[in-house]
Structure 1
Amino acid sequence: MEVTCDSCQSKFRIPDDKVPVGKVATLPCPKCKNKITVDNRKKSEDAAESDSYDASDKPFDFVEEEAKTALICEPDNNILNKMSAVLTNMEYHITRGESTRDVLKKMRYHIYDVILVDENFDAESPDSNGVLLYLERLDMSIRRNIFVVMISHRYRTMDNLQAFNKSVNMVINPKNIDDFDKILKRGMTENDLFYRVYKETLRTLGRV
């Protein structure tokens, strides 16, 4: 459900399960800490329809409507922590994937702005990486709005040919992880320029 803070007017999305059906709850605004009252009494009739999923699979409990989100699928804690620090500084809300199954569940409920995937994440070989295969088959109307980074020991950083071959936006070699901040921002800028005309055309046609 969507709620609005009466104090700062910020809009947020919260899972329905966080407010008991048929009850009124008070939650603190993540932005200004003002109390937000959420009335869930009107939804008691629809409660039965919400039993088909496990709410714990949802990656975020409370995310601002315009917030940027990132998903990291990286088994190496050193690399993961460095990427997390950069994304946090860029004001992304971060989710860490535990396994392919865990990641696919998270993507079922949320479309991330940025996804970083180690080609060896929960896979016997890079070519059998379940997360990358899922993203490769994702509908283009959704996929084009996600910036996908593949972490690879096999390919050089910013290898555009391999990025195209693997259906990702950018490749980063772990040996360059200390420059992750600059590399990521450069890749995002180039991607935005590449898609700008295309997206503006779609908006004109009313397709986005």
Structure 2
Amino acid sequence: MAGEDGMVLVCEGCDASFRIPEGKVPPGKTVGMTCPKCWHRSSFTAPSAGNGWTETEDSSGDVVESASAKEDERKSFSSLVFAEEEGELALICVEDPQLQGQIQKALELMEYQVIAVKEPHEALKNLRMHTCKLVMVHEAFGGGGSERNPVLLYLERLPMSMRREMFAVMLSERHSTLDSLMAFIRSVNMVMNVRHLPDLEGFLRQGLADHQRFYEVFLDALRESGRV
């Protein structure tokens, strides 16, 4: 359903409803969405411009119509970007605008659909909402050190079945690029010093290729043992 305040989507997996602000998805564009409640993956097509808005009910049967509720939902979804079906999603967690812009430009050239955030709550919302194939997070993101970084802590606690679908890069001012010990300590796939950002594409392509080869061998071993 669509109208003046956006579109209401109903998850096919759990019937939960979510309001998407108008203009977030281009009219007529088909995008993918992962439900943050049940993780059901579905797609939808945004209506053409000019369609009317009608009331809808949430999963409990209550009508979603109050102005305050709509405003809260608009704020809640303001940082969320819906990945197009044809592109893999990358999340950039960097507060410095210059660094963020440099990384975003490089990833877009690699044909990623990019979400760039500056605050931890935005990053965590997007991680829960989407399947991000690439996550790049500065060690000081959120104002603390890497040991208190909320995004790194979130990634560390993910089940391995979900974590191995992501490639996580910790950006650092202190540690060397490809520091394998620090990558192990922080549970990331790669450490990259910000001085090497001009060579980001080369490091990423090599790291992603190594990551894919490792899990191909890992999954083959699981199949041979009858565990998958």
The TM-score bracket by the shorter chain reads 0.7 to 0.9
Q: CA deviation at 1:78?
A: 2.2
Q: Name the residue aligned to 1:29.
A: 29
Cα distance change of structure 1 residues 45 and 182 upon mapping to structure 2, 3 Å threshold: closer
SS of the aligned residue for 2:100 comes to: helix
Do structure 1's residue 172 and structure 2's residue 192 form an aligned pair?
Answer: yes
Q: 1:116 to 1:62 in 2, by over 3 A?
A: closer
Q: Give RMSD over aligned pairs.
A: 3.6
Question: Helix, strand or coil for the counterpart of 1:64?
Answer: coil
Change in CA separation of 1:19 and 1:122 when aligned onto 2, cut-off 3 Å:
closer
Query: 1:128-170 deviations in whole A, cap 9, x for unaligned?
Result: 1111111111111111111000001221101112111210000
Q: Residue 174 of structure 1: CA displacement?
A: 0.9
SS at 2:27 equivalent: strand
Aligned to 2:147: 127
Kept after mapping to 2: 8 A contact 1:70/1:112: yes
Q: Does 1:157 align with 2:159?
A: no
Check whether the contact 1:57–1:106 (CA below 8 A) recurs between aligned residues.
Answer: no
**2:110, 2:201 within 8 Å by CA — same for their partners in 1?**
no
CA distance in 2, matches of 1:190, 1:137: 23
Q: Following the alignment from structure 1 to structure 2, what is the Cα–Cα distance between the partners of residues 61 and 147?
A: 19
Equivalent position SS for 2:215: helix
Instruction: Give the equivalent residue in structure 2 for 1:75.
Output: 95
Aligned counterparts of 2:216 and 2:47: Cα–Cα separation in 1:
38
TM-superposed CA distance for 1:119, in Å, is: 0.3
1:85 CA drift (Å): 0.9
Assess, with a 3 A threshold, how the Cα gap between structure 1 residues 104 and 19 changes in structure 2: closer, same or farther: closer
Is the Cα–Cα contact under 8 Å of residues 119 and 152 in structure 1 kept in the other structure?
yes
> 1-side partners of 2:86 and 2:63: how far apart?
27
CA 1:124–1:30: 2 relative to 1, 3 Å:
same
1:46-68 Cα distance to aligned partner (Å, 9 max, x none): 464988x9365455554333420
Structure 1 gap segments, 5+ residues each: 3-14, 21-25
Query: Which residue does 1:95 correspond to in 2?
Result: 115
- Would you say the 8 A contact 1:117–1:149 is kept in 2? yes
TM-score by length of 1: 0.73
Q: Share of identical aligned residues, percent?
A: 31
Q: Which residue identity lines up with residue 147 of structure 1 in the other structure? A: F
Q: Give 1:107's match in structure 2, choosing from 123, 127, 135.
A: 127
Which of these residues, 49, 54, 58, is aligned with residue 73 of structure 2?
A: 54
